[in-house]
């Protein structure tokens, strides 16, 4: 696997190194030793699957706070997503900075997201499936979120939103809240 650090320290774009032969393709998508060598969390508490029926569906921006701050390894197993992460670490030089990456079933890229990063994505095609490996179990009391359209973040989503959960529309704007501080 090739580990490429993003503009947000600690977040990595990971490219599998496929081996192709007449039978097809084989690629490693997770290796404890390789993740450890890059200082990444290797503990997997749960795995999640998200199937999204409509192009333009937006999920996020979600994160969990201590004691259940989540690391995530995200990959798109069918279709395509526009993936966004936001650095919520108050002591980080990139605090409130965001990174946008296209993950598709064709490019097979993965995104490693450290704890205290908000994460969200928008589907670029119908019937898109996303697979997550999570470093912490979901704890509802620790769940928080940011508005996808928060003017402080100024995230440029590629297409109009067609589906979004009421909960994701209800997160307060950063200027009126105490997110991650």
List residues with catalytic annotation: 62, 132
If one counts every other C-beta atom within 10 angstroms of the C-beta of residue 147, the result is 21
**Helix, strand or coil, per DSSP, at residue 141:** helix
Place of tokens 């890059």: 38
Question: In this structure, are residues 103 and 123 in contact, taking their beta carbons and an 8 Å threshold?
Answer: no
CA 124, distance to chain mean position in Å, is 15
CA 127, distance to chain mean position in Å, is 18
């Amino acid at each position: 696997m090739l580990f490429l650090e993003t503009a947000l320290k600690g977040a990595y774009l990971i490219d599998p190194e496929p081996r192709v032969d007449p039978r097809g393709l084989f690629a490693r998508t997770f290796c404890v030793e390789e993740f450890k060598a890059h200082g990444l969390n290797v503990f997997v508490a749960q795995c999640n699957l998200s199937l999204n029926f409509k192009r333009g569906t937006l999920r996020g921006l979600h994160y969990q706070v201590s004691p259940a701050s989540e690391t995530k390894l995200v990959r798109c197993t069918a279709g395509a997503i526009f993936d966004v992460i936001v650095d919520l670490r108050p002591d980080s030089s990139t605090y409130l900075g965001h990174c946008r990456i296209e993950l598709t079933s064709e490019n097979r890229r993965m995104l490693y997201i450290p704890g205290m990063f908000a994460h969200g994505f928008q589907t670029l095609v119908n019937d898109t499936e996303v697979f997550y490996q999570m470093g912490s179990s979901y704890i509802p009391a620790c769940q928080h979120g940011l508005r996808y359209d928060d003017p402080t973040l100024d995230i440029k989503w590629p297409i109009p939103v067609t589906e979004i959960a009421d909960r994701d529309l209800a997160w307060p704007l950063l200027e009126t809240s105490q997110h991650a501080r």
